[in-house]
Amino acid sequence: MLQLLGPSTGGIRRHVAHLADQLEARGWPVSVAAPPGALEGLRPLDHVVDVPGVGASGRVSVSALRTARAALARSAGEVGLIHAHGLKAGWLAASLRRRPPLVVTLHNVVLSGAAGPATPVLRGLESRLPARSDGTIVVSTEMARRFTGGSGAGRVRVIPPASRAQAPVGTVAATRARLGVEPGQPLALCVARLHPQKGLDVLLGATALLRRRVPALRVVIVGQGPLEGELRRQCAAMALDGTVIFAGASSEVADELAAADVVVVPSRWEGWPLVVFEALHLGRPVVATAVGGVPDMVAEGVGGRVVAPGDVLALAEAVESVLDDPAGAAAMARAGARLLAERYPPDGLVEQVEAVYTGVLSGG
């Protein structure tokens, strides 16, 4: 089978690498195709397929599409099934003139207005994709509701991408020193693509409130993205340059998570954020917005605290409450880890995905 990944960062790429490894361990012959460097540090690519994105105008380069389709056709020539991850990869696979059975996992939905002029195009592609694939996986029940009543909705299945959490490589002290955080300083960590979806402007607003109450606080943002310049300007305007640290992308996210006093996920929307799952497995309390699959992992007092998206004051108060009560925060994190162990057994992900493959290959 061929695992196909489009342009991606963070949790999705880690999920694809983990799933490929687990499938191979269970006897599936697996190859992986993706844009150059997409799985760097996680797994070598078997094929380079530069899945094109949609431009700001809502259009795709015809030449880029032809090149990617030809590369995918060569890569998929002998495989019995394609599993595409993401909207763009899914449609590229669906567009092949001759293709094996196709399963698509959608990890996020297209938010209204988030892609500018391209939003209507992407929303249309999203709504029609389940009818063009042989099986569609979404990562939360909230996402599944998006397709209710549409063509192909009967082939949509919810499978959270819960996988084994990474283990830290370095020590907490070494990681904090690398991030520029002094021993004993409260550390709030956010791992996210620097994109409007992630609510980082709300985090900055909450940080401005928190700094008055927790002067020694350091907020570290791990990730890259199109909003970096704007967020840095906001920090300067709010006099947060000494409080907020932009750490860039990291290949050792588990190290940063393990070093945090609280992990903050202020997103306006999520599919099923892997960072929440990983933080709880590492014993770190989480403050997150109640969006997407977050309520499946965190409830108020179990795993951490949940707040409404966009609420600056509520986010600040929740983070402060966790920092003020380390023992209570640790107890919440332990309760969250127990909940995850019950809901998401170690082999649950690969077994559920295998069931989809089996159904598709048998014509079910």
Average pLDDT over residues 355-361: 96
Contact 85, 8 (CB under 8 A): yes
Instruction: For the chain, give every domain's residue range.
Output: 2-164+346-361, 172-343
Q: What is the C-alpha separation between 276 and 33, in angstroms, rounded?
A: 27
CATH fold label, 172-343: Rossmann fold (3.40.50)
Average pLDDT over residues 309-316: 98
* Helix (H), strand (E), coil (C) string for 253-288: HHHHHHHCCEEEECCCCCCCCHHHHHHHHCCCCEEE
CA angle 71, 7, 287 (to 5 degrees): 155
- Single pTM value for the model: 0.86
- Could you tell me where the beta strands, DSSP code E, fall in 56-186? 82-85, 102-106, 135-138, 156-158
User: In whole numbers, what is the pLDDT of the chain averaged over residues?
Assistant: 92
Q: What is the C-alpha separation between 319 and 169, in angstroms, rounded?
A: 26
Q: Is the pLDDT of residue 243 over 90?
A: yes
Q: What are phi and psi of 357, to 5 degrees?
A: -55, -50
Alpha-carbon Rg for the chain, nearest whole angstrom, is 21
Q: Is the pLDDT of residue 89 over 70?
A: yes
More confident residue, 257 or 14: 257
Q: What are phi and psi of 288, to 5 degrees?
A: -140, 160
What is the torsional sign of CA 44, 50, 52, 56?
A: positive
Q: What is the C-alpha separation between 259 and 141, in angstroms, rounded?
A: 32
pLDDT recorded at residue 234: 97
pLDDT recorded at residue 7: 81
CATH superfamily of the 2-164+346-361 domain: Glycogen Phosphorylase B; (3.40.50.2000)
Of residues 220, 251, 341, 274, the one with CA closest to residue 16: 274
- Give the count of beta carbons closer than 10 Å to the beta carbon of residue 361: 16
Q: Is the pLDDT of residue 106 over 90?
A: yes
